[in-house]
Amino acid sequence: MTSQDPSLPDPALPDSVLPAAAQFLAPLAGRARRGDVLVRRDLDPRDPRQGEGTVRHSAVLIHLAGTSLEDAQLVLEERGQTMRSQPGQFSLPGGGRDPGDRDDVHTALREAQEETGLDPAEVRVLGAFAPIPMPWRVQVVTPVLSWSPSVPALGVQDPGEVERLVWATLTGPGSLTDPAHHRRGLLRGFGVGPVFDLPGEAFVWGFTAMILEQVLTGLGLDPVSPDAPAREIPPERRR
């Protein structure tokens, strides 16, 4: 990744008052401002590396665009096929903290700018959730919540890192709450949690799907049902 962009605004303190157009996000934004736990992933006692080395800090950006649940969309990335880590999987914009980053919010905004072209000046940071430990890694990931009233003009900045961008709607046909696109994931026969099998072969599972499910429930929307059809994770999405 590139070094800190001096043009980034100081995002250390999120705005405390939501604009009228963002009131539909109030329940989730309140949790982010408090630094609540969004996804609980306890440290795995079997991890042989636990307690060893310096903990790596990363951040991801949950960016929602729109003025209501009916028109809101969330941006996702399909990771580049040549990436060393999780190629071909869908994720939120984000990455590791650089030495010049002021905090996790700055990391999330900088990474989103580098990957998607998102202009930090065009978004409103609503808060940052508690860091999430990553099992089997000496790493924590902080989800940062941001909003814009309309969909910003984004595009892939580095095709080697990001294959494509996908805007997922929250409600309606083909959306994150459409039961027709809900699955329960299986990896070699073992359950791995919620799956969003979205249009355009946007298959979202694992850590990102867990975050998306909590975003939905945090907004009063239906998560993936425990009775949703099971599907084995496709080989091209599990690397």
Whether 89 and 76 have beta carbons less than 8 Å apart is answered as no
| Residue in 131, 171, 126, 160 with CA at minimum distance from that of residue 16 | 126
Residues in the chain: 239
Share of the chain above pLDDT 70, in %: 84
Q: Is the pLDDT of residue 126 over 70?
A: yes
What pLDDT, in 10s, does the model give residues 218-234? 999 999 999 999 999 98
For the cut 50, the answer to whether the pLDDT of residue 10 exceeds it is no
Report d(CA 135, CA 137) in Å as an integer: 5
Architecture of domain 20-172: Alpha-Beta Complex (3.90)
Q: What is the pLDDT of residue 41?
A: 67
Write down the pTM of the prediction. Answer: 0.89
Buried b / exposed e over 107-140, threshold 16 CB at 10 Å, is: bbbbbbbbbbebbbeebbbbbbbbbbbbeeeeeb
Render pLDDT for 175-217 as a digit per residue (tens, 0 to 9): 999 999 999 999 888 999 999 999 999 999 999 999 999 999 9
Average pLDDT over residues 76-80: 93
| Mean pLDDT within 3-7 | 43
